[in-house]
Homo-oligomer: A and B are copies of this chain.
Amino acid sequence: MPTALHAYTTLETRGLIEARPKSGFFVRARLADLVREPDCCAEKPKVSNLANLDPLDSLLSDHSDPKLVPLGVALPSAQLLPTARLGQMMGTLARRMGAAGGSYDVAPGSELLRKEIARRSLEWGCALKTDDLIVTNGATEALSLALRATCQPGDTVLVEAPTYFGLAHMLRELRLKALPIKVESSSGIDLDAVEAALRKKRVTACALISNFNNPTGVLIPDERKKRLVELATQHRVPLIEDDIYGDLQHEGARPRCLKSYDREGWVILCGSFSKTLAPGYRVGYIAGSQWQHQILNLKKCTSLANATLPSLAIAEFLKNGGYDRHLRKLRRLFREQVAQMREAIVESFPEGIGLSRPQGSFLLWCELPKSVDAVKLFQQARASGISIAPGPLFSVDGSFTHFIRLNCGYPWDARIERSVGILGDLVSRMSRK
């Protein structure tokens, strides 16, 4: 009896069944399944100088404002992360290490941590060795080092359209140009367009999110991953892989990295524990491939070392903290939170929208009616106490004006449900004009 009740509760939580008063449980028609995926492929690739991109100051500072509903920045709720245990581990390490806890951990950084990451890389299909890795200040520093090692100001970098706004911002600050290539919902970046760009020698490097793309949620299928690496190898162009969401598949096996297909050293792999353990610990990593030595030198000149104790606390958690158990919980929660958000959106947004169906991570990419200006929606939502990420931030040329990205990293609650309702009203009103 308790098992059956628990099963019902679980099914209800996942939105698969619904209770009808005095009638019992019924299988629920999943509205969200009926909605199409967003179409990001409208625009032609063009080189952009990124001059008009908003630097996102407000979005980045909003994430810590408890008065705003956190659908903007891509962050899991801190309550879902094992911060208390990590803090305890760091306290214990500080006591046990004494003076050494304050000493430099000069790049490439903690051997203990790199060994643990190397061990985990087997699951990504990579079999990295400890010395293949350098510890970085999050994936941000990893990406920045990779771009600086492979490109010079004025060079052009192939990116996805839409792409991670941090990457777009970074390209601008490094005075690099961007060549955006459209992303297909089911299979990721358009390989023919990539091949054409490489053949014409239009780009110096490529920078991609291979697993559960930010913002689209797209998982590049293995066959296409393999082909991408072949293309990069053939044209001798570095492929910078951002795998920050790779551990967060909703079901099945952990997806492979582009790096796992890399036979000749053209893939630079970047990752971090900011989405799964502790963003504020600033622990990321890079496998620099044939640029390893150069990246190591750049890291020494950029920040010399990572903070010693946070690196060691993460290493300790990977080794003895039950990281896999924690990931299983996170994956289940993110799957449920994404499903709930999808249902709520479809219920309260006007017809005709497109909505991504991510197989991992905790982000939704939403195509609104063409008449909706996402930046205006962002402003109106913020005035109503809701933070969202407007589409143009994810482009290098101001496109995606009627798209938004929503963060599903927080447990579903009445406040979020209400916010989605408010967003729906705003969108309806704007699309009627």
Contacts and interface: CB of A to CB of B under 8 A. Distances in A.
Contacts of A174: 301
A102 B75 contact: no
Contacts of A75: 104
A193 interface: no
Interface residues on A, range: 35 or more
Contacts of A84: 94-95, 98-99
A127 interface: no
Nearest to A170: B301
A94 B83 CA distance: 8
B281 A102 contact: yes
A138 interface: yes
A7 interface: no
A278 B63 CA distance: 29
A374 to B, nearest CB: 22
B301 A281 contact: no
- Copies of this protein in the assembly total 2
Given A94-B87, A173-B301, A103 B307 contact: no
Contacts of A98: 83-84, 87
A300 B104 contact: no
Nearest to A90: B94
A102 B83 contact: yes
A63 B106 contact: yes
A105 B308 CA distance: 17
A100 B64 CA distance: 9
A249 interface: no
Interface in A63-93: 63-64, 75, 78-79, 81, 83-84, 86-88, 90-91
A309 interface: yes
* Most B Cβ at <10 Å: residue of A97, A104, A274, A278: A104
Given A141-B302, A298-B173, A106 B308 contact: no
Contacts of A175: 152
A279 B101 contact: no
Interface string A145-171: 000000011000000000000100110
Given A83-B99, A99-B83, A104-B75, A304 B88 contact: no
A260 interface: no
A99 B86 contact: no
A103 B300 contact: no
Interface in A290-349: 297-298, 300-310
Contacts of A137: 137, 302-304, 306-307
A104 B309 contact: no
Contacts of A304: 137-138, 140-141, 166, 282
A23 interface: no
A214 to B, nearest CB: 14
A140 B303 contact: yes
A280 interface: yes
A281 B307 contact: yes
A31 interface: no
B78 A103 contact: yes
Given A83-B102, A102-B81, A297-B55, A281 B303 contact: no
6 smallest A-B Cβ distances: which pairs?
Answer: A87-B94, A91-B91, A280-B308, A78-B99, A102-B278, A83-B102
30 contacts: A60-B300, A64-B104, A75-B104, A78-B99, A79-B99, A81-B102, A83-B100, A84-B95, A87-B94, A87-B98, A87-B102, A87-B309, A90-B91, A91-B91, A91-B95, A102-B279, A103-B279, A104-B274, A140-B304, A141-B302, A141-B304, A152-B153, A152-B175, A170-B301, A173-B297, A173-B298, A282-B304, A282-B305, A303-B303, A309-B310
Given A64-B103, A87-B97, 18 more contacts: A55-B297, A64-B104, A64-B106, A81-B102, A83-B101, A84-B98, A87-B98, A104-B274, A104-B279, A140-B300, A140-B302, A140-B303, A140-B304, A144-B302, A153-B153, A169-B300, A174-B301, A307-B310
